[in-house]
Amino acid sequence: MRLLVSPMNIEEARAALAGGADIIDVKNPREGSLGANYPWAIRAVVELARGCAPVSATIGDLDFKPGTASLAALGAAASGADYVKAGLLGVKTPEQALKMMTGIVRAVKDFDARKKVVASGYSDYARAGSVSPMLLPAVASEAGADLVMVDTAVKDGRPTLDFMSEQDLLEFISAGHAHGLEVALAGTIGFQHLDLLKRLDPDIIGVRGIVCGGDRRAAVQAELVERVKLELV
């Protein structure tokens, strides 16, 4: 199980690497759960992490605008991200999700087939008004994506486990693996959730708040990244 840490700038990325993060996920929390950062911020982190860890970049909590999303995905890929992560917040149906992800995957893979594409849904989809994450493994696989993920859309302190049971998450992971995808879990993960996550054993867990001292608006701390890594062993 790999640890993905989401810094918003070069200083936080340096702390995430120092703490032993397996994947550095460049995002901008000021623009939402999967808020997109600037191309130059992605490029700076890619240069910092070269030879140490792969870099992921979020492209936003997206409305149903496949062309806009595809162009954003190409921008992240061209900026050097190894993983391009799309949040399907404004997507209401599996058909819309497929159209979105097909365009995003083509934009990234036409540029560099080695790069990986992540389709992210939201555990709190009902209150966010988006498509159920349980429908995404089949969609992501058909579109040619590499990973499927679940996060929380609304960052109000309620974790993914408030919205999806252990059984729900097991089914999500199993469905992802059955479709040949890697699976990532995220969404206000706390230290109290780590034992459960170890039992669930997704391929990746994604964190920010837990390594910022509990406040995702604060800065990533290397010692907290290291602590999470140790507790996941």
State how far the Cα of 63 lies from the Cα of 171, in Å rounded to an integer: 26
Q: Which of 27, 109, 115, 116 is catalytic?
A: 27
The active-site residue, picked from 85, 109, 115, 116, is 85
- Distance in angstroms (rounded) separating the CA atoms of residues 108 and 88: 17
Per the annotation, the verdict on 115 as an active-site residue is no
Residue 77 CA to residue 219 CA, distance in Å, equals 26
Instruction: Give the CA-trace dihedral at 180, 188, 19, 7, to 10 degrees.
Output: 90
Print burial letters for 124-153: b (CB count within 10 Å at least 16), e (below 16).
Answer: bbeebebbebebbbbbbbebebbbbbbbbb
The string over 16-33, giving b where at least 16 C-beta atoms fall within 10 Å of a residue's C-beta and e elsewhere, is bbebbbebbbbbbbeebb
**Which residue numbers are catalytic?**
27, 85
